[in-house]
Chains A and B, each alone.
Chain A
């Protein structure tokens, strides 16, 4: 069987497992494949949790951490789950730094994307993404952490320093705000 045929038969999780093994042994091309496979979701995660479009620095930071910690991945969960947990931690730490910068008035607010732009029309996936953009910041963060990343309300309450009840109600508001995009 050719390597292409083998590749076509692999599920993304199987491809991840193979590339993780290779990357742990120093294969940077395998690591690049992991990067290509997972960057889109990490990019969206960073944009939504940080409320900004310019997340290049954070993406670099995430994948450099992944490379550094790859040999601690034991395969007890899917690689994607492990990576997204690590990415979320890096992003949330960066969020704290941005918040401190904003308190100091050192400019990062200038780069915050304008999420309140023109209204979106239902029907396309990109419109649903725009709808997530337009959610109030807190509701968006709770929605992303809970529904995209699988965090529990107790964990969200801890990382966002809000109550569990607030996390639940923000999630409900976020979902209700987005439901018009989905036909019954």
Chain B
């Protein structure tokens, strides 16, 4: 088996060789065990790929998707709502509350309830968003809050309980860092409220949440070492 022939095996399998080259290769493969073996193995690779059914994701994201598409207990969304979905993202009051509660757990960096709902109104809470993928971006941000919020709350509680363990300089630096991150989170939320379709802002918000989690984790590790 040499490179001249092996280099042509993939193209042969994909039907990309000219008739002359195809005949030459077939003639060679008949007399070359190694090339014949390689060709059969490559055929196995191609067949496996075509039949591959994929791997289940680590997390089921259907609940988040259902929240965005307005899944109802009956499982049927009104037609006009579905057709509106590219331009209008509507949340029912229970969904808005669930989303707002999820965001509220983020603590200082969390969204206020008022931002997603209009509690003074008994009408369905509807967020009209003109950008096509605004709904996806907002829900992705909510999912981030759901993902990181509980861990952040837990760590904040631990640090509060262990406040006396860290030295005063560390506490001061930690507070400064968290204040900066919280400010950035608040600004990102405010900006997202104005521009809900912005992937940049959503990514920025996600990055800040991760940063806050990392800072708190680092602080918690320091507490463990000190105590």
Contact = CB atoms under 8 A, between A and B. Distances in A.
A and B are interacting partners: yes
Interface of A: 25-32, 35-36, 39-45, 47, 53, 55-57, 59-61, 63-65, 67-69, 71, 97, 101, 106-107, 128-129, 143, 147-148, 168, 171-172, 175-176, 178-184
B69 A39 contact: no
Contacts, number: 154
B136 A65 contact: yes
Contacts of B133: 61, 64-65
B199 interface: yes
Contact of A175 (B42, B59, B62): B42
A136 B57 CA distance: 22
A128 B44 CA distance: 11
28 contacts: A25-B79, A26-B77, A28-B75, A40-B53, A41-B53, A43-B55, A44-B55, A45-B54, A56-B58, A56-B59, A60-B65, A63-B61, A64-B68, A64-B135, A64-B136, A64-B139, A97-B199, A101-B207, A106-B203, A168-B10, A172-B7, A172-B9, A175-B45, A176-B38, A176-B42, A182-B40, A182-B41, A182-B44
B9 A59 contact: no
B102 to A, nearest CB: 14
Nearest to A106: B207
A122 to B, nearest CB: 11
Contacts of A47: 55
B118 interface: no
Given A147-B46, A175-B45, A40 B54 contact: yes
A56 B61 contact: yes
Contacts of A147: 45-46, 49-50
A30 B19 CA distance: 48
